[in-house]
């Protein structure tokens, strides 16, 4: 059964953004036990069975276990093939939900011989570059988590309160209703709309943002392609992509890391709570150069006040209007024209 929006957001906060049960409970005003039970239920949906039938696998798989709990979980997984298979299923599901997460290593079944692995490792010392690549990817993921961990918490707070409108980008708000929808790119992905990005204030930054949907995961993404960025941006600032719901407030989806030529081309995932909360109200896409300390202060204030969006922070470099969504004649909704 597909996870609900709040379950997906909760797991992303726990395994991809380093939040604890206590952290999330403090934001929601509940208890850590309540948060843990909701996480346990989400893992049961992914794996098809309760992960805590015999031992607390929930804490182990979500990186929340203490040393004693980790040892108990490992011993249980070594001794119980069915529990190990369940843990593998859950980790596979978590990898889809939170691809940047560092998941705990699962043990080999007790009694399984591992001799074959030793000669292969010793006889093939050549692949040295792979760990460096992994380390670079891990470092980039860590920077992203540090930058927007607070944003995910705001989104989780919001989505819990608006489950009644979950699914903004499917059903009546699907890509088929978009005035600029394009043909399906693969069996699982479809483009929703393209937003040309034009320079603001003579910045020279321009490009496009193409919104799309991974249908089987109900995951909104945006492919960003921009040029004209300064590769030597001032220390303490980052380039951000904002989904704006007005002239002065919005949500920073993620950061852009400029290449040596001042360009960026890549795919950013729009957090599910934000897609649900502000997706049908978004009016523009905006590129900014933002002081991170200012952004962190706004995140702290928004989390405290439990508001879903942030005041726009930084210098606006490029902007583009999101095309209007067509609605059947006689029905309201959508954005008003300018």
**Do 298 and 154 reside in the same domain of the chain?**
yes
**Do 91 and 33 reside in the same domain of the chain?**
yes
Token pair belonging to 17: 């953004």
Confidence of residue 299 (pLDDT cuts 50, 70, 90): confident
- For 13, 23, 153, 280, 334, the CA distances from 161, given in Å and listed in that order, are 17, 18, 13, 17, 22
CATH of the domain at 157: 2.60.40
**Do 246 and 145 reside in the same domain of the chain?**
yes
Percentage of the chain beyond pLDDT 90 is 34
Q: Is residue 180 part of a domain?
A: yes
Please tell me the predicted confidence (pLDDT) of residue 303.
67
Domain boundary among 105, 124, 156: 105
**Do 95 and 187 reside in the same domain of the chain?**
no
Q: Is residue 151 part of a domain?
A: yes
Q: Is 130 exposed, middle or buried, given 0-12, 13-18 or 19+ CB atoms closer than 10 A?
A: exposed
**Do 76 and 9 reside in the same domain of the chain?**
yes
In the predicted model, is pLDDT for residue 86 greater than 50?
Answer: yes
**Do 201 and 271 reside in the same domain of the chain?**
yes
Query: Quick one: average pLDDT of 299-309?
Result: 71
Given strand 284-291, what is the order of strands in its sheet?
264-269, 219-227, 206-214, 189-199, 315-321, 284-291, 237-244, 249-256, 310-311
Q: Is residue 171 part of a domain?
A: yes
Domain of 67 in residue numbering reads as: 5-105
Evaluate if pTM is beyond 0.85: no
**Do 100 and 142 reside in the same domain of the chain?**
no
**Do 163 and 84 reside in the same domain of the chain?**
no
**Do 145 and 92 reside in the same domain of the chain?**
no
Structurally, how many domains does the chain consist of? 2
**Do 40 and 150 reside in the same domain of the chain?**
no
Query: Quick one: average pLDDT of 250-270?
Result: 88
Confidence of residue 3 (pLDDT cuts 50, 70, 90): confident
In the predicted model, is pLDDT for residue 188 greater than 80?
Answer: no
Confidence of residue 236 (pLDDT cuts 50, 70, 90): confident
* pLDDT tens digits along 133-186: 455 555 555 544 444 444 444 444 443 332 222 222 222 333 223 223 333 334
Please state, in angstroms and rounded to a whole number, the distance separating the CA atoms of residues 73 and 58.
9
**Do 96 and 155 reside in the same domain of the chain?**
no
Please tell me the predicted confidence (pLDDT) of residue 241.
92
Q: Is residue 337 part of a domain?
A: no
Confidence of residue 310 (pLDDT cuts 50, 70, 90): confident
CA nearest neighbour of 151 among 286, 67, 335, 277:
277
Tracing tokens 């902007």 back to the chain, one arrives at: 319
Contacts of 186 (CB under 8 A, 6+ apart): none
């Amino acid at each position: 059964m597909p996870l609900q929006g709040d379950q997906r957001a909760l797991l992303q906060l726990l395994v991809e953004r380093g939040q604890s049960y206590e952290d999330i409970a403090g934001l929601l005003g509940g208890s850590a036990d309540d948060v843990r039970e909701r996480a346990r239920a989400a893992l049961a949906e992914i794996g098809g069975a309760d992960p805590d039938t015999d031992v607390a696998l929930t804490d182990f798989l979500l990186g929340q276990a203490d040393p004693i709990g980790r040892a108990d979980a490992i011993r249980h997984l070594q001794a119980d093939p069915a529990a190990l298979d369940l843990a593998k299923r859950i980790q596979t599901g978590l990898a889809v939900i939170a691809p940047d997460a560092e998941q705990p290593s699962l043990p080999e079944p007790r009694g399984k011989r591992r001799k074959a692995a030793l000669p292969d490792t010793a006889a093939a010392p050549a692949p040295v570059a792979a760990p460096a690549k992994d380390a670079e990817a891990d470092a980039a993921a860590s920077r992203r988590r540090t930058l927007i961990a607070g944003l995910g918490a705001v989104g989780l707070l919001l989505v819990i309160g608006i489950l009644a409108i979950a699914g903004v980008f499917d059903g009546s708000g699907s890509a088929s209703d978009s005035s600029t929808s394009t043909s399906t790119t693969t069996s699982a992905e479809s483009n929703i709309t393209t937003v040309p990005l034009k320079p603001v204030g003579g910045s020279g930054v321009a490009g496009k943002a193409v919104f799309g949907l991974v249908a089987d995961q109900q995951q909104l993404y945006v492919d960003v392609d921009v040029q004209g960025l300064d590769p030597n941006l001032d220390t303490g600032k980052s380039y951000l992509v904002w989904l704006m719901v007005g002239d002065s407030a919005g949500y920073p989806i993620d950061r852009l890391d400029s290449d040596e030529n001042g360009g960026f081309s890549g795919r950013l995932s729009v957090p599910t709570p934000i897609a649900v909360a502000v997706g049908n109200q978004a009016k523009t896409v905006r590129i900014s150069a933002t002081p991170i300390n200012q952004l962190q202060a706004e995140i702290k204030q928004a989390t405290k006040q439990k508001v879903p969006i942030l005041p726009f922070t930084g210098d606006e470099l490029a902007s583009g209007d999101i095309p209007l969504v067509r609605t059947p004649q006689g029905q309201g909704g959508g954005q008003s024209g300018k």
